[in-house]
Structure 1
Amino acid sequence: MLGVGAVEADALLAHGLAALAGPLRDHEHGGWHPVVDRAGRPVLGAERPDGKRMYDHAFVVLAAASGCAAGHPDAPALLAEALDVVERRFWEPDRDACAEAWDRAWTTGEAYRGANSNMHAVEAFLAAADATGEARWRTRALRIAERVVHRHARANEWRLIEHFDVDWTPRREYNRAHPADPFRPYGATVGHWFEWSRLLLTLAEALPEAPAWVRVDAVALFAAAVREGWHADGRPGFVYTVDWAGQPLVRTRMHWVLAEAIAAAAALGRATGSADYDDWYRVWWEHADAVFLDREHGGWRHELDADARPSAGVWPGKPDAYHAVQATLLPRLRASPTIAEALRRAGG
């Protein structure tokens, strides 16, 4: 499917783990840099210069857990180190969620808490539980979901709130001047409703006794995303964000939103047996085929305007294959275990 064989895949795996153990790792202060140049020096960013973000560390955990599933001998040590950093630097037991960011030396934390980084913490924690067998990571994933989705999104007509202060009080006006920010846009991000819906189903299947609200909330988030995101401005596709009244805000069409919708529809179709989700699954693949798949240059067009023309207002170029690949993998797998472990058990 990806055009690589076992030998090439092994080489890519080894390269990725070596990069995380080498130039991307902060050998002075611990943790990982978001970006380094060819010489291994941290690339400074405007928002958090040379800092440490939970968002990035969640993906280190996910990569290491995936390496464990693939059987690479260096992966368990990397996973143990990454989980230790998360435990000591990001996990806040008094809030049952993760902090957002620190400076490079771990001396000053950012006075902000984000649903996005915590969503990816849920994804990473579920993978870590599969890799280590430690149930506490699933318990923590449940606590995060309870806070972000069951407490805040449910009380907000399922318009998932993304931005909070350190005490997890919603900051509804955050980034009003930057509605198309790639990581922290103002308003509610429709694609995350689908992503959370899918992750809730993984959580429900992974837990020995999942609370009933986990599956109920997954269904409600999906329904809200369809209602307020799909063709919301009268044009084909999903809008990027909506305001707090559910009206379209940023009308850009993002490939990752459609990919997450496809994955969520497949997961809910399997979980509920309802043909409605299968219908959406087919509709959205047809839409992807019609406007997003780039048959000239390969991959998916990452961003389109409301008229389905390529644009670059949020994400220039094609910076990730993560969501598109998952849209092809997840419909073939059960909700739990997580992707890499499921492929290992399937012999793939």
Structure 2
Amino acid sequence: MWLSADMSQNAPLCTETVAAELAANADDLLQFTTGAAVPGGFGWLDDDGAVVERNLELWITCRMTHVCALGAALGKPGFHELVEHGVKALSENFHDERHDGWYAAIAPDGSRPTDATKAAYAHSFVVLAGSSARAVGVEGANDLLANALAVHDRYFWDENQGMARESFSGDWRIEEDYRGINANMHTVEAYLAAGDVTGDDIWHRRAGRIVTRAIDDVARGSNWRIPEHFTADFTPLPDYNRDQPAHPFRPYGATPGHALEWARLTLATARTLGGPAWDWALPAAESLVRGAIADAWAADGADGFVYTTDWDGAPVVHARMHWVLTEALGAAWALHHVTGSSDWSRLFEQWWEYAKAHLVDTERGSWISELDQTNHPHAGTWVGKPDTYHAVQAMLLPRLPLTPSFASALAASS
């Protein structure tokens, strides 16, 4: 069965009570987001929602610009102006006028670059921010998105591999001898959003090529435990970062949270492109999610998804990351949309109960970024509450269709 029909009306995703809780938490998260705005862009937030004195990261400014676009699409006062602020910061403070592309980090006041490298992960979020800003009609968004897509096309897209390259020096002359599945996953998200707002299906088709290679080929051939790290010709590196198992972006082993995230993106890509050629997408998404549950949920006796496992599915890093739980909600939502099965709605509500019990911070706001294996706050990998991207998206799920992407869907319904 290819994904032409939406079966979600067969059973509700969640009860009215849960839907109201999610909506209220979305409002709280959006309010928390407003505290991140600083003159140079958006800063890294601490546990109380205050900006940490540190360099401004490109990926955070992009993700918070995207979040603010979601707030603007919902009609929240002040959020259109926050999107304008983000677009201006990306177009002026972060943009490399000499070499093109965007600096990885700039000084806290936005005055100068502190890291000039050009990474696909962060640049995918430039595309996402530009797409979301365009969806809500912010001035300057069209130019930002057009430039971001041109940079992606020129430097990051590898036509022969059908995948994204990883990173370059600031002047684009030196390319890293590494490829990562994480950067490719977020490139899929960005390309889907770009195709939705521009109407140019080249971005949808490129997203489809990445998903097919990463999931129908690599993940299927690895028992649905997705290799994260590769050489430049996409030969897997299974022992990469074995000595840094809790790395925030390149951890050793399999990352069940990414399997959950890929499941949602696989179904969205299949729905976008359509046709019998995508018959494999639904069973693949189900395999990814069921594998992640089997390997990572309560794998050490306590509820929650462990961060990483080895290649046999045994836990390596036992910490529970908030973003993994949000992607579990997203995976259950996507599978419910496609199948209408109450199994996925039950899991959605079960995981939301866990989030309320352990991750939603009702005292200081937002979600706790990381828990230890006993579900107590922990800062082994993440410090503070850097951004609200994952949590806000998860809280909006009950009001969204599977496609188009978040900002486009909300803007179309407003």
TM-score normalised per structure 1: 0.96
Distance 1:214 1:301 in 2: 33
CA contact (8 A) 1:121 1:141 kept: yes
CA contact (8 A) 1:263 1:331 kept: no
**Which AA in structure 1 matches 2:347?**
W
Distance 2:83 2:104 in 1: 19
Residue 106 of structure 2 corresponds to residue 36 of structure 1: yes
1:87 is matched with which residue?
153
Task: Select which of 277, 285, 291 maps to 2:344.
Answer: 277
Distance 2:117 2:102 in 1: 9
1:259 is matched with which residue?
326
Task: Select which of 181, 197, 200 maps to 1:115.
Answer: 181
Matches within 5 A, 1:187-206: 187-206=253-272
Over residues 167-217 of structure 1, what are the superposed CA-to-partner deviations in whole Å (9 max), with x where a residue is unaligned?
001000100100000000000111001100001111111114251112221
Distance 2:411 2:376 in 1: 39
Matches within 5 A, 1:3-14: 3=31, 6-14=76-84
Over residues 233-281 of structure 1, what are the superposed CA-to-partner deviations in whole Å (9 max), with x where a residue is unaligned?
1111110000001100000000000010011111111210111111110
2:36 is matched with which residue?
none
Distance 2:288 2:238 in 1: 19
2:298 is matched with which residue?
231
1:53 is matched with which residue?
119
SS of residue paired to 1:267: helix
2:137 is matched with which residue?
71
Stretch moving more, 204-213 or 275-284: 204-213
| 1:40 to partner: Cα distance | 2.5
1:183 is matched with which residue?
249
Task: Select which of 397, 400, 414 maps to 1:330.
Answer: 397
| 1:78 to partner: Cα distance | 0.8
**Which AA in structure 2 matches 1:283?**
Q
2:93 is matched with which residue?
23
Distance 1:41 1:74 in 2: 22
**Which AA in structure 2 matches 1:25?**
H
CA contact (8 A) 2:216 2:280 kept: yes
CA contact (8 A) 1:145 1:200 kept: yes
Residue 173 of structure 2 corresponds to residue 102 of structure 1: no
Q: How large is the RMSD of aligned CA atoms in angstroms?
A: 1.1
SS of residue paired to 1:188: coil
**Which AA in structure 1 matches 2:96?**
D
CA contact (8 A) 2:84 2:139 kept: no
Q: How many residues align?
A: 342
1:47 is matched with which residue?
none
Distance 1:84 1:317 in 2: 34
Runs of 5+ unmatched residues, structure 1: 45-49
Distance 1:25 1:39 in 2: 11
| 1:39 to partner: Cα distance | 4.0
| 1:309 to partner: Cα distance | 1.1
**Which AA in structure 1 matches 2:266?**
L
Which structure's relative contact order is higher, taking Cα pairs within 8 Å and 6+ residues apart? 2
| 1:43 to partner: Cα distance | 2.2
TM-score normalised per structure 2: 0.81
Runs of 5+ unmatched residues, structure 2: 1-26, 32-70
| 1:310 to partner: Cα distance | 0.8
Distance 1:111 1:75 in 2: 33
**What is the percentage of aligned positions where both structures have the same residue?**
47
**Which AA in structure 1 matches 2:211?**
A
CA contact (8 A) 1:148 1:161 kept: no
2:206 is matched with which residue?
140
